[in-house]
Chain A
Amino acid sequence: MISVENLHKRFGEVRAVDGVSFNAQDGAVTGLLGPNGAGKTTTLRMLYTLMRPDQGDIIVDGINAVADPQGARFALGVLPDVSGLYPRLTAREHIEYFGQLQGIIGSELRTRTDQLLTMLDMTEIADRRVAGFSHGERTKTALARAIVHNPRNVLLDEPTNGLDVMSTRAVREIVRRLKNEGHTVLFSSHVMQEVSALCDTIVVIARGRIVASGSPDDLRRQTGHDDLEDAFVTLSGLQPDGAAEARSASVKASPS
């Protein structure tokens, strides 16, 4: 479970994140939806403790991630925005390296690695060096190493960006599976379909602020659009005439 309270981050004159608050519950998928440059990645970076907020609190499973980033990291599994691999290591070695860094060793590590490789349908490429991997295979490797320690909270920054259909499906499968196992899953996307297909709660972010949040149905109701994409466009203020409407519709709904 992750609670974010009044998060602020500015880069020079730019207020990248300007008072963001939301909750991501256990056993639910929360989607951070917004156009490019809205502040999704900056928000996530603060959540996964590599960026320090100027103001605000982040509580991960009861641990204050701002005050104790080290402690919060144990409870987090992260697929960052840029998730580079080591070209000379195999997929299996990537998973094992991160497992060892998390303190998992011996047969436990082997079992967990095999389990992840099977789950992501990677057994055939497990012992190949990642240098020749496709984009999908890379993302799956990065995802596997991110959740090797079976973290309670999983943060994914645009996990399906640029993936083909099969890889997208594999990622969605993992997300659903994590949710069913009771994990907190928070992921960002700028693709409406992606979010609506997976999320229990959608948090719409634009220009560093939360403009709406709630279930997909809530959002439809708030905006008066049946189509989620229209709702998204209205909410994120992408159309000038919809901007005022979006602001007024900004309701902080807690997820059901």
Chain B
Amino acid sequence: MRVGRLAQALVVCRKELKDWARDRRSIFTVLISSLLAPIIVGVMFTQLARQQRDVEDVTIPVVGGSNAPALMTWLRQQAGVTIVDGPAYPEEAVRTRQDDVVIVIADDFANDFTASRPAQVRIVSDSSNNDTRAKVQRIRALFQRYSTEIGSLRLIARGVSPVIASPLQLEDVEVSSAQQRAARLLGFIPLFIMISAFTGAMQISTDSTAGERERGSIEALLVNPAPRGAIATGKWIAGSLTGMLSVVVSGALLFALFQYIPLEDLGIRFRLGTPELIGTLATVLPLCPLIVGIQIYVATFAKSFKEAQSYLSFLMMVQMIPGMMATMNQTAMRAAWLYYVPWIGQQSLLNDVLGNKPISPLTFVVVGVVNLALAVVAVRATAGLLVRERIIFGR
């Protein structure tokens, strides 16, 4: 009888997968859900890397550069600096964001400079533009350095030590760097992967339960002598497989993507190599059966596909809350037992995996077993629903 049950569950599973594979909507869902993470991560990292490069390789539009040939020569000698001719109306150009920053050298720069009077260099920038702040700061620092160098030379020429003119030694430590932002972004990767598990399984979870009720095929199905447990199990296995497929696709795409993202440009020591990929899959795949078990249970209460989808969207938000909290506040989520709480545990495990912390294989096994056990409870509960007249006939 046991083997018979399993065989019947597999019959149901095969049918659900066939049905699923023929639905354009379901393929679309898996694609979208697994592409979401790589696309968001890819776009944001590329953006960050570009900003970082902007700071290092800086192009400075200069108006009146001919007034200060020595300064221009010095600037050109600095690493990553390119000098171009500035626009005719510098302030207008910056205000319209045509240029991030424009340098204006005053006409009497040469006279003042040779007379050792402060010679004017104007830095035209827009401080309300966050994206260009780092670049402006770098340019300002360049001129500051030139100014200090020349000042030192002048002091030395007059027999005074330049150190006397520097009573303070200032050092900037920037905490909101591109690195920091990138690291925060990496913290969202586990969340993205788990969302893909959720959305990937949603199609079968709704179609094989609420969909079955909506179409009115549930009566005919349940008249079969196949036990309710076998029917629920078959649907659960099919849903879990699609959720896992979504996770694998999503993980593989991220993996491929990280071979191309110039993380070194950001100065980040982050690797998504084969061990990290395996660790990610070992963490998230055992979660899929539980997600689907709960989805199927909840969706069975819905009379229609749409109703089920709104239930499940809500369920996803509820399930995401602990994950979000873990992402936002990583120190608060360090208690050992939290590893065994579904969703939070995966989140913590994934953070460890991606953070290259050593994890005992036993942890994976125990977390997996806990999830599977809870999933079985959900499937049994679903089988229990399939006996209720309100579920079978309520339309």
Contacts and interface: CB of A to CB of B under 8 A. Distances in A.
B50 interface: no
Given A88-B22, A97-B11, A101-B8, A78 B223 contact: yes
A71 B218 CA distance: 19
A49 interface: yes
A4 B22 CA distance: 43
Given A45-B393, A101-B224, A102-B225, A84 B11 contact: no
A83 B225 contact: no
Nearest to A71: B225
A50 B223 CA distance: 7
Given A82-B216, A84-B216, A85-B217, A101 B226 contact: yes
A81 to B, nearest CB: 7
Interface string A72-97: 01101011111111111100010001
Contacts of B215: 84-87
A50 B389 contact: yes
Nearest to A70: B225
B389 A52 contact: yes
Contact of B220 (A45, A80, A87): A80
A82 B219 contact: yes
Contact of A73 (B15, B216, B218, B223): B223
A100 B11 contact: yes
Contacts of A50: 219, 222-223, 389, 392-393
A103 interface: yes
Interface size class of A (residues with CB under 8 A): 20 to 34
A136 to B, nearest CB: 17
Nearest to A98: B224
Contacts, number: 81
A145 interface: yes
Contact of B223 (A48, A52, A84, A129): A48
Nearest to B392: A50
Contacts of B216: 82-84
A67 interface: no
A84 B227 contact: no
A142 interface: yes
B149 interface: no
Query: Nearest 5 pairs between A and B by C-beta?
Result: A84-B216, A82-B216, A84-B215, A84-B217, A73-B225
Given A48-B223, A70-B225, A83-B216, 14 more contacts: A50-B219, A50-B389, A50-B392, A51-B389, A51-B392, A73-B223, A80-B219, A82-B395, A83-B217, A89-B19, A101-B8, A129-B22, A145-B220, A146-B220
Interface of A: 45, 48-52, 70, 73-74, 76, 78-89, 93, 97-98, 100-103, 129, 142, 145-146
21 contacts: A45-B393, A50-B392, A50-B393, A51-B392, A70-B225, A70-B227, A73-B223, A73-B225, A76-B223, A81-B219, A82-B219, A83-B216, A84-B216, A84-B217, A84-B220, A86-B15, A86-B217, A101-B11, A101-B226, A103-B4, A142-B220
